[in-house]
C-alpha cells in the first residue's frame, strides 16, 4: 500500500517519489521519480532523482514549500516475506 501525501520539502525522504510531469512519456505512472539524494544548499532543499552519475532529475524547493510525494510504508521489523505462489498449471 502506498500513500500520496503532502509534505514540506524539508520533510522529503530518500525513496519518496516526486512528480516530474509527463515529460516525453504520456503514461502517468512514469512521471513519478524516486528520490535518491536530499541535500540542503544555500537554505534550499535540493532533491536528486535517479542515478547521480547518469541520467537524473534535479529539483529545488524552499524548505517550507509544500509538495506531494508518494511514500511507501516502512516494512515492520520481524515480518517474514510472503511466500510466492506458483501460478503454473496444476493437475
What is the residue extent of each domain of the chain?
A: 3-71
- Architecture of 3-71 per CATH? Roll (2.30)
44 DSSP β-pair partners: 41, 62
Contact yes or no for 7/67 (Cβ under 8 A): yes
Q: What is the pLDDT of residues 45-79, one digit of tens each?
A: 999 998 777 778 889 999 999 999 999 887 777 65
Q: Which residue has the higher pLDDT, 21 or 83?
A: 21
Residue 35 has pLDDT above 90, yes or no: yes
As a whole number, the mean pLDDT across the chain is 81
pTM recorded for the entire structure? 0.69
**Residues 6+ positions from 81 with CB-CB distance below 8 Å:** none
| Residue owning grid cell 512528480 | 19
Amino acid at each position: 500500500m502506498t500513500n500520496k501525501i503532502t509534505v514540506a520539502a524539508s520533510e522529503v525522504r530518500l525513496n519518496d517519489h516526486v512528480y516530474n510531469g509527463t515529460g516525453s512519456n504520456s503514461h502517468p505512472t512514469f512521471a513519478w521519480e524516486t528520490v535518491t539524494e536530499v541535500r540542503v544548499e544555500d537554505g534550499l532543499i535540493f532533491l536528486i532523482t535517479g542515478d547521480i552519475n547518469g541520467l537524473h532529475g534535479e529539483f529545488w524547493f524552499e524548505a517550507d514549500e509544500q509538495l506531494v510525494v508518494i511514500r511507501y510504508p516502512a516494512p515492520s521489523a520481524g515480518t517474514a516475506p510472503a511466500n510466492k505462489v506458483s501460478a503454473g498449471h496444476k493437475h
